[in-house]
Amino acid sequence: MLPSTIDVLKSVLRADPTLSPAERVSLMARLRQKPEDPRAEDAAKSGVRIIRRCEAARLLSCSTRTLDKLATAGLLPRRKLPGRVRASGFLASDVDALIATRMLRPAA
């Protein structure tokens, strides 16, 4: 953060009569910290993985069109990343679950 930005933030915080000096110091300390994305850490720890459409189709041994039909039918939910409009892919666990159910289903 630029020194001029820090000066502006200090001025704004000083102008707010509802903040105590301890709260001002705490806020400035948090603002100076490097931003960390807790969602990225949670995803890495929990093993959540998003698979792109073409990779999911390859794992399921089907075409991308068939994969789209599965998603439209609600059998394989599409996943969106925060701030995105379109889906980014499918959860690896959802794809694995679909593979497992297809293996358990008897051939017709």
Q: What are 71-108's pLDDT values in tens digits?
A: 999 999 999 888 888 888 999 999 999 998 877 566 55
Quote the pLDDT of residue 62. 92
pTM for this structure? Answer: 0.53
18-50 pLDDT per residue, tens: 989 899 888 888 888 876 666 656 655 667 889
Structural domain boundaries, residue 30? 3-35
List Cα–Cα distances, 97 to 8, 13, 52, 53, 72, in angstroms: 52, 51, 16, 16, 17
Q: Where are the beta strands (DSSP E) in the chain?
A: 50-51, 90-91
Assess whether 29 and 52 both reside in one domain.
no
Q: Which two tokens stand for residue 22?
A: 């301890």
Assess whether 63 and 83 both reside in one domain.
yes
Q: How many structural domains are present in the chain?
A: 2
Q: Read out DSSP for 28-45? A: HHHHHSPP--HHHHHHHH
Assess whether 56 and 22 both reside in one domain.
no
Q: Which two tokens stand for residue 53?
A: 């459409």
